Chain A
Amino acid sequence: MPKTLVDKIWDAHVVSSIAGGQDVFYIDRHLIHEVTSPQAFDELEARGLPLFRREQIVATADHNVPTRNQHLPIEEPLSRSQVDKLTENCRKYGVELYGLGHQRQGIVHVIGPELGLTQPGMSIVCGDSHTSTHGAFGAIAFGIGTSQVAQVMASQCLLLSRPRRMRITVDGQLRPGVTAKDLILYIIAQLGTGGATGYFVEYAGEAVRSLTMEGRMTVCNMSIEMGARGGLIAPDETTFAYLQGRPHAPQGARWEQAVAYWQTLYSDADATFDAEIRYDAADIRPMITYGTNPGMGIALSAPIPLTAAEGEETGFGKALQYMGFQPGESLLGKQISHVFIGSCTNSRIEDLRAVAAYVRGKQKAPHVEAIIVPGSKAVEQQARAEGIDQVLAAAGFELREPGCSACLAMNEDKIPAGAYCVSTSNRNFEGRQGPGARTLLASPLVAAITAVEGRLVDVAAVLETASATQPEAALAASA
């Protein structure tokens, strides 16, 4: 019987099925961090249970770490205690930790792929909803709660019902200046913030296939923002080329065997999905959000809708009031005071390159505070090796040390109340970047342009001007 990709991977991980339709589902890789793991370790302790498969767990400190002076003790006592607790738990239970000060520390969803811990066909969980990022490699990857973190620690399994399957196909090629971030913001704007609840989404089509691994990660990362349990993309040569030679990737003959298996991981031609959606890449423009959930997105050059989408009425007025916007108005020309480039959505080397390519030789606007927080130490080192740090510094951007930072404002990186921040992160919820902060989600390219202009401008117009004067930079920025 023909199978979807999700079903192929799902079936390979079912230990047994119980009455009522739940499966005992095996987890290959468990990623943990300081915020959602301490109560799970306590749970094991309280029940006197050991870690069932400690070598399948990898830890990092990311959510709550400062992005300055990481070589010094963390100043904020509660944050320090949480990070210390992770270190202590990892030592006690023998879990591999990429903690502060480690050469490969970083955001959990950035270092997993970098280290080759993320591989096609795997089941991967983490106590973080953006675990869907790892689906870019053709893995079933999803976020779990802390009780489930404890369950995986104790048994390497979860009790789960099989998800419904949705395929989103994006035909054709993205226009210049339109990136993976715009692609996913467009999809979420079409489906709404709960539009894929209960589904696992497979992204397909020429526009998706043409993306780099970094771009695919950006797309899969935001699957949760339309309610999906996860998102994934069938592995191909792009995937294998990215993985080969990474520290935890299979080596030698084992690599050949792995690739042979991974090449079987695709949806069969006549497999059926519970929902099928198609978009045309040519319809997608550089995107921005205007409201307080990621589904409230528009083309940057388009006005805010006059009325809410059908079925979304109750939040529309409240969101616009919070954001200080009017129905039907254009965002072009709006003054922006903060730009944040970072998060598990857009903090990889390719994102930093795109920003650097655009800002090279330019200056950020004087009133803008622009910070760039790399996803990992490896990204930071690569940026320095390529001289990106100098380009950014010359343009007035501040390059920080790795962490989740102002995406969720758990540490001291907060946007002030009432301020507008163009952010490459994944959530524009009320107060997400600090109490009262107003977030506009966008691509790294839009963020870079906004920092330089100090206000929102039409990307297409900027790129046209740039290509007339600096064809190479424009090309790099739109790649």
Chain B
Amino acid sequence: MEKFEILRSGAVPLPIENVDTDQIIPARFLKATSREGFGENLFRDWRYTADGQPRPDFVLNNARYSGQILLAGKNFGCGSSREHAAWALYDAGFRVVISSYFADIFRGNALNNGLLPLQVSEEVLQRLLAEVEREPGTGFIVDLAAQQLYVPVWEQSIGFDIDPYKKECLLNGYDDIDFLVNQKEAIAAYEKQRVWAY
């Protein structure tokens, strides 16, 4: 996993709530057995017509918006557990998704792939969306170490929460496998004394 450095970027607004992982990457594109290449089918059916033409009204096809931050409505990533959704967003260049809350499995998948799910209040989310829609070039700074989302145009910084362990993992590019494999002795000891062995 790549280290998460300080990110300076514009944002792409997607003011839709309950974006499910079937929209992020439809099931028919899950047949690959590697992690790469899912970005081209990110938001496939919102982004392209059935015959593969870009839909001009979808934000990823709008040249006014660009950046590594996706600003999305609440309950982002609900539905299927497919990690391909996080891979597709990352592969398409996104490093941060800002929403007012995330579905649990998506949040975990994002964190395991160096994609930061940044949760803000609904009020802040609506202000951010309005700002970006008014001025598409608006830039942001995401400082994970300080847990701050800086909005230069407001001269204001917004704090956000993150699990301290996952924060360290993102900053250092570590993942849970490294940690868990080092626990093998404790795990084997647990197996010997557990309440009921299945």
Interface residues, chain A, CB within 8 Å of chain B?
12-13, 15-16, 18-22, 24, 26, 28-29, 35-36, 38-39, 42-43, 47, 49, 52, 63-64, 78-79, 81-82, 85, 119, 121-122, 127-129, 143-148, 150-151, 154-159, 161, 193-194, 197-198, 224, 227, 229, 258, 261, 293, 312, 314-315, 318, 408-410, 417, 427, 429-432, 435-436
Contacts and interface: CB of A to CB of B under 8 A. Distances in A.
A29 B165 CA distance: 26
26 contacts: A12-B195, A12-B196, A15-B187, A20-B165, A24-B180, A26-B187, A36-B83, A39-B34, A42-B33, A85-B33, A129-B79, A144-B108, A145-B81, A145-B109, A147-B109, A147-B113, A157-B180, A157-B183, A194-B103, A314-B15, A315-B17, A408-B80, A409-B28, A427-B79, A427-B80, A431-B26
B163 A155 contact: no
B78 interface: yes
B55 interface: no
Interface residues of B, number: 55
Contacts of B112: 145, 147-148
Given A157-B187, A293-B20, A197 B198 contact: no
B30 interface: yes
Interface stretch (B58-66, B131-139, B143-151, B171-179): B171-179
Tell me what chain B mostly uses at the interface: helix, strand, loop, or mixed: loop
B90 interface: no
B163 A315 contact: no
A144 to B, nearest CB: 6
A16 B79 CA distance: 30
Contact of B177 (A42, A154, A417): A154
A81 B86 contact: no
B109 A159 contact: no
B20 to A, nearest CB: 5
B33 A47 contact: no
Contacts, number: 190
B81 A127 contact: yes
Contacts of B15: 314
Contacts of A161: 163
Interface string B6-36: 0000000001111010110011101111110
A105 to B, nearest CB: 19
A143 B107 CA distance: 13
A429 B85 CA distance: 15
B4 interface: no
Contact of B101 (A43, A145, A197, A431): A197
B75 A159 contact: no
Contacts of B190: 15-16, 26
A76 B33 CA distance: 15
B69 to A, nearest CB: 20
A64 B81 contact: no
A198 B191 CA distance: 28
A127 B85 CA distance: 13
A19 B165 contact: yes
Contact of B104 (A13, A157, A227): A227
Contact of A197 (B23, B26, B103): B103
Nearest to A126: B81
B142 to A, nearest CB: 21
Nearest to A12: B195
B195 to A, nearest CB: 5
A430 B45 contact: yes
A49 B181 contact: yes
Given A159-B176, A197-B75, A417 B181 contact: no
Nearest to A122: B198
Given A35-B82, A409-B27, 17 more contacts: A13-B194, A35-B30, A42-B34, A85-B33, A143-B105, A145-B86, A148-B108, A155-B187, A157-B180, A194-B18, A227-B104, A293-B20, A293-B78, A314-B15, A408-B80, A429-B20, A436-B50
A146 B196 contact: no
Given A19-B164, A157-B187, A194-B75, A408 B196 contact: no
A15 B31 contact: no
A19 B28 CA distance: 41
Contacts of A315: 16-18
Contacts of A258: 196
Contacts of B177: 43, 47, 49, 147, 150-151, 154-155
A92 to B, nearest CB: 14
Contacts of A13: 194
A104 to B, nearest CB: 19
Contacts of B95: none
B165 A194 contact: no
Contacts of B33: 38-39, 42, 81-82, 85
Contact of B27 (A28, A78, A122, A408): A408
Contact of A155 (B16, B22, B73, B183): B183
Contacts of B83: 36, 39, 127, 145-147
